[in-house]
A and B are shown apart, each in its own frame.
Chain A
């Protein structure tokens, strides 16, 4: 099977939704490809609804729905030829998608840091636990500690509490001083302040500790307790779940495969959200961690630019630079403190796909050397977790991305029968 669209949007989070909608409103035939069953990405997991914060986007989407094809549960796994993607559906069926313009809105994932015991069952990503509860896991009466860094922690704590969990504590590694400065910036932004206050009311009775982080998780078969540290004090706390997240890591793999230039770990874009590859745009968290508002603005700019409506895309530039200010405040506020580099012990597993302990990595001076000789990053996640961790621990940068971007069936990799050399692909490219 082969599909073809004027504009293809990879990722159905806020950035992708906004991009697709403005492009469709401009009369373009658009596809949104996303690996989740519903639109919404990380934050609007349940999909768009006619009421609440997604109200406006829901309405606009309905209005131009005839021009938008949503391909749910579909992963883009390869880029075998110019303007061509190979995708795999949840049932394993592979197909190609051809595009005139491509907008990458692949978002971000949670960051993890290794510490003793972090691979025990019931130690989870904060967002991951939230997602599991959303899809039916009961945390009723369970003792949960939320730890790590970033604005997500409070949101997750509020959500879990609402779902019946006993949230014992939220531990934020950032210092109170930094958070206070962050709060000042928020205060200038009414919407953000309201959002935070809303979390605030729901989380008011949850102890919130700053300059505090987990140093170990313990338990025989699953988690039974954790050791926390705050400045020089260290203590233990019994709990059933540890929801842990160390801010967000951009999903840049597809961009890398396409050959887009990265800068400081994010996809580099110009003012129209164009990447270094012609006709490929990028919007949302993959270009910088800036929250939903910035993602929506970038998505609109990219969507309008891809649809050729440059004048209109300019109208969002000012709002975008304001939102980018928030992004840089975020980055400063939640930058990981160097003490976190010393929480893993030599025995701590860093690469959980391949069970590689820290000890084995210490002899190496680059990601490639460590990978080749210890298998770190060679497993199914291809360094999605340990790559960010070793970047923080050792300053290593991951090597090249190769197909498939996500694990895919062997038959999917073989799916694309190349027409190069005897058809018009090459010709099209050079024109």
Chain B
């Protein structure tokens, strides 16, 4: 028997869960299908840094919008979501990077993001475990961290409370033209299919411009107060975004548990989920250059995850031009925890025909189709 819905979401990562919640709240008869554990994909691997990023104006608009949605939601999140507005410090190693601090300061300000510039002494006071001699930092107070899997589960539970159906343990084999076939033999009919399958989205919708980008992380035992803000090096922009080749960057996060989450690395075209010592060592060495004392702390586990990266570092949100029933919500690369809420709201606004808070155009999947046509 075919079950009929207004909207069926594929994937209960943080993006899919957020989409199901918005659809259900908009009064649509909604189902969400997950083959594995809720929030067990990239969502389980991600750092959970809710961060405003300014790679491009469209990225700034989306991350800022989403960050505000998170701070509205914060008071409703369960303790397990470990939400904390610890702020981000973009650390400048030298005067050249200090110039970047000032540039960023202007940009964030113009987007209405409260910022503060710390000089060398202020940075030392703010983060005594950073090595002495760093030039300064840009503080973004409104940035936060959370525990992504628990946040995804909360969003899903809200969707279910609003009437959404969860179909767990089933794998979507095919989807398109208003129907979905599942591995357990069920079929669904839907006016709108939302592919939120993360890095696996391309398996269901061929031709998506998504590449897997692997990342490594390490977590320590509990050292409350050792790190106070999410710390990111400013070289991050250069190194993390170099399109070819592997890169590592200093990126550490204080967890509400007192643990320290250590990142980060980026690699294209690496499919195996195993820990690679070459990368891990480079990453930890980089971290040690900024925070020497971290070397002495006790690490308890390492893991990897795959980001779904697009060529322009912006997600794919909106209709797939080839199929009027198909919508995409994927390609969030290293920002999907942050931008999940905005992604879902933009889609729901699109479905309702409501005016979006920010223009949807930069994220429309059709931008690549258009590019291909021009080429």
What residues of B have a CB within 8 angstroms of the CB of A378 in the complex? 301
- Tell me whether A368 is interfacial, beta carbon within 8 Å: yes
C-alpha spacing A80/B276, complex, angstroms: 7
Does B358 have its Cβ within 8 Å of any Cβ on chain A? Answer: no
Inter-subunit contact B301/A404 (CB<8 Å): yes
Q: Is the CB of A408 within 8 A of B37?
A: no
How far apart are the CA atoms of A222 and B285 in the complex, in Å?
44
Report if B296 contacts A (CB, 8 A): yes
**Contact among A375, A380, A402, A420 for B221, CB-based, below 8 A:** A380
**B14, CB-defined interface residue at 8 Å:** no
Complexed CA–CA distance, A51 and B2 (Å): 77
Please tell me if A410 contacts chain B, counting CB pairs below 8 Å: yes
Per the bound structure, the CA–CA distance linking A85 and B203 in Å amounts to 37
A379 to B259, CA, bound (A): 10
Tell which of B38-46, B111-119, B317-325, B328-336 binds the partner.
Answer: B38-46
Max chain B CB contacts within 10 Å: which of A379, A380, A411, A414?
Answer: A414
How distant is the Cα of A368 from the Cα of B38 in the complex, in angstroms? Answer: 10
Q: Are A409 and B281 in contact, CB atoms less than 8 angstroms apart?
A: no
CB pair B278 A402 closer than 8 Å: no
Q: Contact between B295 and A411 (Cβ–Cβ < 8 Å)?
A: yes
A418 to B284, CA, bound (A): 13
Q: Determine whether the beta carbon of A409 is less than 8 Å from that of B288.
A: no
Smallest CB gap from B286: residue in A: A414
Interface size on A, residues (CB 8 A): 32
Give the nearest-CB partner of A367 in chain B. B37
How many residue-residue contacts, CB under 8 A, span A and B?
Answer: 96
Q: How close is B299's CB to chain A, nearest CB, in angstroms?
A: 5
Within 8 A of B (CB), among A373-398: 373-375, 378-380, 382
Contact A415 B281 (CB under 8 A): yes
B363 CB to nearest A CB, Å: 28
Q: Decide if B277 touches A404 in the complex (CB within 8 Å).
A: no
Contact of A409 among B149, B280, B298, B303 (CB under 8 A): B298
Of chain B, the residue at the smallest CB distance from A412 is B299
Chain B interface size range = 35 or more
Asked if A402 contacts B296 (CB within 8 A), the reply is no
Proximity bits, A340-383, B CB within 8 Å = 1, else 0: 00000000000000000000000000101100111100111010
Given A373-B38, A416-B277, A418-B278, A380:B302 Cβ within 8 A: no
A369 adjacent to B38 (CB under 8 Å) = yes
Tell me which residues across on chain B come within 8 A of A416, comparing CB atoms.
277, 281
Contact of B284 among A92, A373, A414 (CB under 8 A): A414
Query: Are A414 and B288 within 8 A (Cβ)?
Result: yes
B213-266 interface (Cβ within 8 A of A) = 218, 220-221, 257, 262
Pair A368/B40 contact, Cβ less than 8 Å: yes
Contacts of B288 in A (CB 8 A): 410-411, 414
Check B221 against A407 for contact (C-beta < 8 Å).
yes
The answer on a CB contact under 8 Å between B277 and A409 is no
Q: Which residue of A lies closest to B296 (CB)?
A: A409
Chain B residues closer than 8 Å to A404, beta-carbon distance = 299-302
Q: Chain B 271-290 against A: per-residue CB contact (8 Å), 1 yes, 0 no? A: 00001111011011101100
9 contacting pairs across A/B (C-beta < 8 A): A373-B38, A373-B80, A409-B295, A409-B299, A410-B284, A410-B295, A410-B298, A413-B218, A418-B276
Given contacts A80-B277, A368-B37, 8 further A-B contacts (CB under 8 A): A369-B38, A369-B40, A372-B44, A373-B38, A374-B80, A414-B281, A414-B285, A417-B281
Residues of B within 8 A of A (CB): 37-40, 44, 80, 149-150, 153, 218, 220-221, 257, 262, 275-278, 280-281, 283-285, 287-288, 294-303
**Closest 3 CB pairs between A and B?**
A414-B284, A80-B277, A418-B278
